[in-house]
Chains A and B, each alone.
Chain A
Amino acid sequence: EVQLLESGGGLVQPGGSLRLSCAASGFTFSSYAMSWVRQAPGKGLEWVSSISGSDGGTYYADSVKGRFTISRDTSKNTLYLQMNSLRADDTAIYYCAKQIGGSYSSRLFDYWGQGTLVTVSS
Chain B
Amino acid sequence: DIQMTQSPSSLSASVGDRVTITCRASQTIGTFLNWYQQTPGKAPKVLIFGASSLQSGVPSRFSGSGSGTDFTLTISSLQPEDFATYYCQQSYNPPPTFGHGTEVEIK
A binds B: yes
Distance (whole angstroms) from the CB of A92 to the closest CB of chain B: 13
Interface of A is mostly: loop
Among A23-59, those with CB < 8 Å from B are: 44-47, 59
Size category of the binding interface on chain B = 20 to 34
The answer to the question of B96 belonging to the interface, with a C-beta cut-off of 8 Å to chain A, is yes
| Interface core residue of B34, B91, B96, B98 (most chain A CB under 10 Å) | B96
Q: Is the CB of A112 within 8 A of B98?
A: no
Q: Is the CB of B46 within 8 A of A104?
A: no
Q: List the B side residues contacting A45 at CB < 8 Å.
A: 36, 44, 87, 89, 98, 101
Q: Is the CB of B91 within 8 A of A47?
A: no
Q: List the B side residues contacting A46 at CB < 8 Å.
A: 98
Q: Is the CB of A108 within 8 A of B34?
A: yes
Q: List the A side residues contacting B101 at CB < 8 Å.
A: 44-45
Q: List the A side residues contacting B83 at CB < 8 Å.
A: none
Size category of the binding interface on chain A = 10 to 19
Across the two chains, which residue of chain B brings its CB closest to A96?
Answer: B43
Q: Is the CB of A113 within 8 A of B98?
A: no
In whole angstroms, what is the CA distance A3 to B9 when docked? 31
CB-defined interface of B18-46 with A at 8 Å, one 1/0 digit per residue? 00000000000000101010000011111
Q: List the B side residues contacting A110 at CB < 8 Å.
A: 46, 55
Contact A47-B96, Cβ < 8 Å, known A108-B46, A112-B45, A113-B43: yes
Sample 27 A-B pairs with CB under 8 A, ordered by A number: A44-B99, A44-B100, A44-B101, A45-B36, A45-B44, A46-B98, A47-B95, A47-B96, A47-B97, A95-B44, A104-B94, A105-B94, A106-B91, A107-B32, A107-B96, A108-B49, A109-B34, A109-B44, A109-B46, A109-B89, A110-B46, A112-B43, A112-B44, A112-B45, A113-B43, A114-B42, A114-B43
A residues sitting closer than 8 Å to B (CB atoms) are 44-47, 59, 61, 95, 100, 104-110, 112-115
